[in-house]
A and B are shown apart, each in its own frame.
Chain A
Amino acid sequence: MDMVTAIIDGCGVEVAKGTTILEAAKTVGIKIPTLCYHPDQFIKANCRVCVVEVEGVQLLQAACATAVNEGMVVKTNTSAVRDARKTILELILAHHPQDCLHCIRNQKCELQTLASEYNIRDIRFDQVDRGLALDLTSPSIHRDPNKCIKCGRCIEVCERVQTVAVYSKYDRGFDVGVAPALNLGLGDVACINCGQCVLACPVGAIYENDQHDQVWDAINDPEKHVVCQMAPAIRVALAEEFGLNSGELQMGKIVAALRQIGFDKVMHTNFTADLTIIEEGNELLQRINNGGKLPMITSCSPGWIKFCEHNFPDFLENLSTCKSPQQMFGALVKTYYAEKSGIDPAKIYSVSFMPCTAKKYECARPEMNSSGYQDVDAVLTTRELARMIRESGIDIVNIAPEEFDAPMGIYTGAAVIFGATGGVMEAALRTVYEVATGDTLNDINFTAVRGMEGIKEATVNLAGTEVKVAVAHTTGNARKLLEAIRAGEKFYHFIEVMACPGGCIGGGGQPIGTINEKRQFRIDAIYEEDLGLPMRKSHENPAITQIYEEFLKTPLGHKSHELLHTHYTKRSLYPFSKEQL
């Protein structure tokens, strides 16, 4: 590798040719401020806050976009540099509402942090109120375009990573803004609600539809029996909200916190993740044995489902008819659980904690009412859960752990790994293999389907049939996979798709600061949890056996179809079209 040497603030650095000043400075402990820069994205160099002095160059250079040359002498901390950065920050702040104290991103805002680090005490420029309307059209994601600093990070993640491309810059110069086509709301375009734009936004311009107040209202209502479920990807990320490393927060502590908050029953989506494996595994075997539509594609990720409905309507029959674990749980809480505990389902308020903004849209789909009521009443993201815990004054790090409520709180390691890309596939293979062959798996770790690679493939021998499987995460990778299948270049029996990078652990409802490096930590924590559990195969979950005996009777049976399976809707890609968006 070609190396170059340079001097940054008096320190000699040796870095690979092509390394930017920003990255080179990091290696010697020099922090250069950034706003439009994102470690998982291309260089944009439009905010200019990373400017530095380069000897022999008259103008200040953007450190994120300037490669280190041999012998380069860089100064990152001169008064000219500091003054320029302050001026840039003041210019941005002059176009940014000054309501930090009650902004949803208060203390988690990159602009606010820089304003603090650079001691911005007053702004020399006139404050401009852009007077743009809030976008509240989507049930998942809201936008305040007045706060937008036009960095373009949301555009890139939506367009390049997800290939959804609902955002674009519009107009020119002073009037530039970022919005969906025709300045429509996110609810009026083909947005899949994945929320990756929320994670990409450095400020409070894009955020989840915060509904935690509604949940407080339900908890405070003595007539309501409030139950909750929690997705497997929550635990590893919630830790980060409270200053711990990804895997460090014990599950039991979250259970205890939820009881203190006031939930009548604390249960786990993992229970219905195990149930999903039984239903979906049987559906797969049925499709393979009876010449059903293949490949079968998983249906747990509501961002992926909406993406498929908009972009690949010819694949809707390939989607597993299984509802997502959240919606299976919702349907069962107001039927099975209500029956078992003798509670009127009309009085049950069902809350779901998810790493996902698309789940807010999913729970409001008109077909998700098979219990006779809206199956899940409210979906809160990991961020909203953290808000409730803080608001309650609970010291979650030091609280004494408690157990989940039975039976819908009993789960296996197979359910835990649903949180990571490849997890649903691996969980399904663990069960399908044993059900199809009658043998016991020697090694239940299907490592070929794990990890952050965009598309993963594997072949498994199921009692003589070579079953080809593939796993894709991000809808951009799903698009590649489906286009290859459509073109006849690839064939698979079974495909797992998760809309978000890394799977649910990287979901749009996860803590601000979710970057690929963190996603990997969370994935590691998820597999560690799986490894430590006594049961690691869904079909070995005694609570699952019990629910079939007592209630569902048989996988894919009448009751399952009524409560656990669903159908999909062809949707238009375009606004103003006669088809449903």
Chain B
Amino acid sequence: MTNNYTNRPIDQIIAEFKDVKGGLLPALHAIDDEYRAIPQEALVKLSQVLNIPVAQVYGVATFYAKFAVGQRGRNIIRFCESAPCHIAGAAKLIADMEDQLGIKVGETTLDGKFTLEFCQCVGMCQSAPVFTINQQPYYNVLTDEIPEILARF
């Protein structure tokens, strides 16, 4: 299940959205798909190619929890921080995940393999607590199942 990022050049990705109306969000997704984050130089390139002030590009890129400006690990683990997951014991599971990875939420493992983040509700409250790794949701996870899940990456 390891992602195969081709790390296509940013210029090449952004060029595809040059004349696309409302192209900023799809372009951010495309960059995020390749780089797992929005590198700083991509903000400037987006501003130039899409003719949007760089401050606005930054505003949009920071508004959405899915995007992070800067660098992230190769795989993004996101824990839902909404109420249903909280009630279902998300805090305990997050603490266990932090222990297993040796990092806190918001950090990236030293080998660059995982970044741990919070996100908003992913719409699977029936199976709370929920976390996602990249696009894949994991639900009803018990602490002792974590090593096996992480080993898949």
Q: Which residues of A are at the interface with B, using a C-beta cutoff of 8 A?
A: 159, 165-172, 179-182, 189, 573-577
> Which of B22-30, B50-58, B138-146 lies at the interface with chain A?
B50-58
Residues of B within 8 A of A179 (CB): 55
Instruction: Tell me whether A576 and B62 are in contact (CB under 8 A).
Output: no
Give the docked Cα–Cα distance between A40 and B44 (Å): 31
Instruction: Tell me whether A182 and B69 are in contact (CB under 8 A).
Output: yes
Instruction: Tell me whether A168 and B48 are in contact (CB under 8 A).
Output: no
B13-34 interface bits toward A, Cβ cutoff 8 Å, 1 = contact, 0 = none = 0000000000000000000000
Which residue of chain B is the closest to A163 with respect to CB atoms? B53
Give the docked Cα–Cα distance between A169 and B55 (Å): 8
Instruction: Tell me whether B40 and A167 are in contact (CB under 8 A).
Output: no
Instruction: Tell me whether B63 and A576 are in contact (CB under 8 A).
Output: no
Partner of A171, one of B47, B54, B62: B62
State the Cβ distance, A65 to closest chain B Cβ, in Å: 22
Which residue of chain A is the closest to B48 with respect to CB atoms? A574
Instruction: Tell me whether B65 and A181 are in contact (CB under 8 A).
Output: no
Which residue of chain A is the closest to B44 with respect to CB atoms? A574
Residues of A within 8 A of B62 (CB): 170-172
Instruction: Tell me whether B59 and A169 are in contact (CB under 8 A).
Output: yes
Which residue of chain A is the closest to B53 with respect to CB atoms? A165
Instruction: Tell me whether A181 and B57 are in contact (CB under 8 A).
Output: yes
Instruction: Tell me whether A172 and B63 are in contact (CB under 8 A).
Output: yes
Partner of A166, one of B43, B55, B65, B69: B55
Instruction: Tell me whether A180 and B47 are in contact (CB under 8 A).
Output: no
Instruction: Tell me whether B55 and A180 are in contact (CB under 8 A).
Output: yes
Instruction: Tell me whether B40 and A168 are in contact (CB under 8 A).
Output: no
Partner of A575, one of B54, B56, B65, B69: B54
Give the docked Cα–Cα distance between A205 and B43 (Å): 26
Residues of A within 8 A of B55 (CB): 165-168, 179-181, 189
Chain B interfacial residues counted at CB < 8 A? 18
Which residue of chain A is the closest to B56 with respect to CB atoms? A168
Q: Is B41 positioned at the interface, with any CB of A under 8 Å from its CB? A: yes
Known A165-B56, A574-B47; further 7 A-B contacts with Cβ < 8 A: A168-B55, A171-B63, A172-B62, A182-B58, A189-B54, A574-B44, A577-B44
Residues of B within 8 A of A574 (CB): 44, 47-48, 54
Give the docked Cα–Cα distance between A577 and B47 (Å): 13
Give the docked Cα–Cα distance between A172 and B68 (Å): 13
State the Cβ distance, A463 to closest chain B Cβ, in Å: 44
Give the docked Cα–Cα distance between A573 and B56 (Å): 14
Residues of B within 8 A of A168 (CB): 53, 55-56, 58-59
Give the docked Cα–Cα distance between A167 and B58 (Å): 10
Q: 28 interchain pairs (CB within 8 A)?
A: A165-B53, A165-B55, A165-B56, A166-B53, A168-B53, A168-B55, A168-B56, A168-B59, A169-B59, A169-B63, A170-B58, A170-B63, A171-B62, A172-B65, A179-B55, A180-B55, A181-B43, A181-B53, A181-B57, A182-B43, A182-B58, A189-B54, A189-B55, A574-B44, A574-B54, A575-B54, A576-B40, A576-B44
State the Cβ distance, A394 to closest chain B Cβ, in Å: 42
Give the docked Cα–Cα distance between A577 and B45 (Å): 11
Instruction: Tell me whether B48 and A181 are in contact (CB under 8 A).
Output: no
Give the docked Cα–Cα distance between A573 and B54 (Å): 9
Residues of A within 8 A of B64 (CB): 172
State the Cβ distance, B83 to closest chain A Cβ, in Å: 15
